[in-house]
Amino acid sequence: MQTDNNSGIKRILAVDDNEQTLQIVKLTLERDGYQVMTATSGQEALTVIQRAGLPHLALVDLNMPMMNGFEFCKALHEFSDVPVVMLTAINEEDTIVKGIEMYAEDYVVKPFRPNELLARIRRVLLRMGDFAYTLDPEVKIDDYLSIDFSSRKVTVGGEEVSMTPTETKILYILIRNAGKTVTTDFLLRRIWPLETAYEDRLHVHVHRLRRKIEKDHSKPYYVVSRRGTGYIFPKN
């Protein structure tokens, strides 16, 4: 397993089409010890991720041209479970409810108070826990398995294999919590937040994922079942 060169430093991606807001956010977060990546549109944010890797958290505006905040979050969550805090001037109840139900861990209305924003970010990151592996564009687990989350592809024994959004998200959640058992209930809630989903549905996707990444899917090494509890990804 690779180790994170910025161990202990959290990386945040701020997405907003207002340059002044980005400057304020970047200064506020960097003063608190965060590494900050910025983008002025959803498309640019996806390009940043492809180039630099995944952040620990995304701070996302809603009103942006071409690809709005909801559209960006949908694209982001097709290959990850990166926590999102929405930072927007929209203060309508329906939008706030939609944002929290579908994508966001928290919702902050502009104009914002820097210390309050920092407190909300800290709370979300504390709840989500540490990312056990590096956040590089290609995450190398070992000599057999590497993962490019943004492209939804894994390299298995030198062969490139495509994954579905659901398979990618399952793998992301397990790797983020490497060495810890992730409960079935947690996976169901994170993968299908607005649906009533059951264990059998999850098992089907896990089975397909194992067939793609395991040397022997009948004796899994990467996606290991914890009977009656959930799954665990090894932390080397």
At residue 1, what is the residue type? M
Residue 3 pLDDT class (50, 70, 90 cuts): very low
Least confident of 5-9, 59-63, 144-148, 198-202: 5-9
What's the CA gap between 139 and 146, in Å, rounded? Answer: 6
Q: Which residues contact 189 (CB under 8 A, 6 or more apart)?
A: none
Domain 139-232 grouped into CATH 3.10.310.40: no
pLDDT score of 226 more than 70:
yes
Q: Where are the domains of the chain?
A: 11-128, 139-232
Note the pLDDT of residue 66.
87
CATH node for 11-128 = 3.40.50.2300
Q: Return the closest-CA partner of residue 15 out of 138, 95, 120, 104.
A: 104
Q: For the segment 69-114, what is each residue's pLDDT rounded down to a tens digit?
A: 999 999 999 999 999 999 999 999 999 999 999 999 999 999 999 9
**Would the CATH topology of 11-128 be identical to that of 139-232?**
no
What's the CA gap between 59 and 25, in Å, rounded? Answer: 9
The phi and psi torsions of 136 (rounded to 5 degrees) equal -70, 160
What's the predicted TM-score (pTM) here?
A: 0.88
User: What dihedral angle (degrees, nearest 10) is formed by the CA atoms of 225, 229, 233, 236?
Assistant: -110
Residue 7 pLDDT class (50, 70, 90 cuts): low
Note the pLDDT of residue 9.
87
Continuous segment of H or E residues that includes residue 39:
strand 35-39
What's the CA gap between 36 and 6, in Å, rounded? Answer: 12
**Scanning the structure block, which residue is given the tokens 């999850």?**
202
Note the pLDDT of residue 132.
72
Residue 50 pLDDT class (50, 70, 90 cuts): very high
What is the DSSP code string of 48-91? HHHHH---SEEEE-S--SSS-HHHHHHHHTTT----EEEEES--
Q: Return the closest-CA partner of residue 161 out of 220, 221, 218, 208.
A: 208
Residue 197 pLDDT class (50, 70, 90 cuts): confident
Residue 46 pLDDT class (50, 70, 90 cuts): very high
At residue 75, what is the residue type? A
Residue 67 pLDDT class (50, 70, 90 cuts): very high
Note the pLDDT of residue 151.
94
Residue 2 pLDDT class (50, 70, 90 cuts): very low
N-terminal to C-terminal alpha carbon distance within the chain: 6
Q: What's the whole-number mean pLDDT along residues 23-52? A: 96
What is the DSSP code string of 130-147? --SS---SSEE-SSSEEE
Mean pLDDT of the chain: 92
The phi and psi torsions of 148 (rounded to 5 degrees) equal -110, 95
Q: For the segment 151-174, what is each residue's pLDDT rounded down to a tens digit?
A: 999 999 999 999 999 999 999 999
